[in-house]
Amino acid sequence: MKSHKCIESRFPSLIVLLLFSAGFATAQTSGSKYACSEPDPEQLCDAANTCGSTSSPCTVDVKRTAEGASTTASIPRAKSNAAFCVKVGTTVTWKTTSKDVGFLVDIGPASPFEPSGVITGGSDRSVSVVATRPGCYKYSAGACRSGEVYGMCGSGNAEIVIIGTN
């Protein structure tokens, strides 16, 4: 009977330790680096993570999620809030496919887009801007659901790499 109680009391601690170790190992191997912290972020861009072109627009969906807000570029197998690339001259259309949601996208004072400034839109208004300045940019996106009182707004952060033309 005592041996069972000893195992029962140590078993939860063992599970917690194993889960913590597995989570730490996963974080170390999952590529948790940010694109903009790389010495040459343009080297990370390839056909799989480049959105749009100078002849076809890149569409970015801004959504309000349970955890905050997310942005997802219109590329196959895109993940929310994942860094993506566009070429200089590409039109980027920021929109939401969610009903009754408004959004803000803030890239900061050195916006790579024309027109510059905070991008403000919603479910009834998409916003198109043109990528004009190469570089890697961190941005924040906020999304709010209309008519909710508690927790109606959320935010998230992501990165975009603007590829210069050679």
Q: What is the pLDDT of residues 44-53, one digit of tens each?
A: 999 999 999 9
Per-residue pLDDT of the chain (166 residues; tens, 9 = 90+): 555 454 444 333 322 222 233 332 323 223 436 899 999 999 999 999 999 998 999 999 999 998 899 999 999 999 999 999 999 999 999 999 999 999 999 998 889 999 999 999 999 999 999 999 999 999 999 999 887 666 689 999 999 999 997 5
* 29: amino acid identity, one letter: T
Q: What percent of the chain has pLDDT over 90?
A: 67
Which helix (H) or strand (E) segment holds residue 130: the answer is strand 127-131
φ, ψ (nearest 5 deg) of residue 80 = -65, 140
* Model confidence, pTM: 0.77
Domain ranges of the chain: 1-32, 38-163
Torsion of CA 17, 20, 22, 27, to 10 degrees: -160
β-strand partners of 145: 101
Structural tokens at position 130: 């043109």
For 22-63, what is each residue's pLDDT tens digit?
A: 332 323 223 436 899 999 999 999 999 999 998 999 999 999
Domain 38-163, what architecture?
Sandwich (2.60)
Q: How far apart are CA 32 and CA 161, in angstroms?
A: 17
